[in-house]
């Protein structure tokens, strides 16, 4: 289990307990967190699960794969802390993680 906080572009936020093994995207979708549509269900094919990872968590979350990088390259509003949330697996080490969803996904 890890507590994950999802912040919407307007500042509203929800903190949820997400089971280890699920992805950050699944934690959002299963709880109807707006702004993460995840059209492809986690196949790294759509970039509709784009989030900004809180700077303090960048190291713990790890690096994106080449496939993810090239999807992110073309995502709207991409920043250095952009990630596809379907490619971040939740572990106990991510307890407290904070991510923000981009405005374009609302």
Partner 1 sequence: MSEPGVVIVGAGHAGGSAAAFLRQYGFTGPLSLIGEEPLAPYQRPPLSKAWLKGEADAEALMLRPDSFYSENDIVLRLGVRAERIDRDARTVILSGGEAVPYATLILATGARARRIPLPGLDLGGVLALRTAADADQLKSALGPGRRLAVIGGGYIGLEAAASARALGAEAVVIEREPRVLARVACEALSTFFQDYHRKHGVHFILDAGVEGIVGGDGRAAAVKLAGGDLVEADAFLVGVGAVPNQELAVDAGLHCSDGIVVDLEARTSDPAIFAIGDCTRRPMPLYGARMHRLESVPNALEQAKQAASALTGRPAPAGEVPWFWSDQYDLKLQIAGLPFDAVQTVIRGDIAAAKFAVFHLDAEHRLQAVEAVNAPPEFMAGRLLIGQRKAVAPDKLRDMSISMKEVAA
Binding site for partner 1 (CB under 8 A): 26, 29-32, 34, 37, 39-41, 43-47, 67, 70-71, 73-75
Interface with ligand FES, residue 28, by CB under 6 A: no
User: Which residue from 22, 42, 54, 60 is in contact with ligand FES, where contact means CB under 6 A?
Assistant: 42
User: Which residues lie below 8 Å from residue 88, measured CB to CB, with a gap of 6+?
Assistant: 23, 24, 25, 53, 61, 62, 94
Report in angstroms how near the CB of residue 23 gets to ligand FES at its nearest: 8
- Residue 69: phi and psi, rounded to 5, are -55, -45
With CB under 6 A as the contact rule, which of the stretches 7-15, 38-46, 51-59, 97-105 interacts with ligand FES?
A: 38-46
Are 3 and 15 within 8 A, CB to CB?
Answer: yes
74 binds, among partner 1, ligand FES, none (CB under 5 to 8 A by kind): partner 1
One character per residue 61-100, x = contact with ligand FES (rule: CB under 6 A): -----------------------x-x--------------
């Amino acid at each position: 289990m890890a507590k994950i906080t999802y912040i919407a572009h307007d500042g509203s936020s929800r903190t949820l307990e997400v089971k280890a093994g699920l992805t950050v995207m699944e934690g959002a979708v299963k709880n109807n967190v707006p702004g993460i549509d995840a059209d492809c269900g986690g196949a790294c094919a759509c970039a509709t699960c784009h989030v900004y990872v809180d700077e303090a968590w960048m190291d713990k979350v790890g690096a994106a794969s080449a496939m993810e990088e090239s999807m992110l390259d073309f995502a709207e509003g991409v920043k250095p802390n952009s990630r596809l949330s379907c490619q971040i697996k939740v572990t106990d080490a991510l307890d407290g993680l904070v991510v923000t969803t981009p405005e374009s996904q609302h």
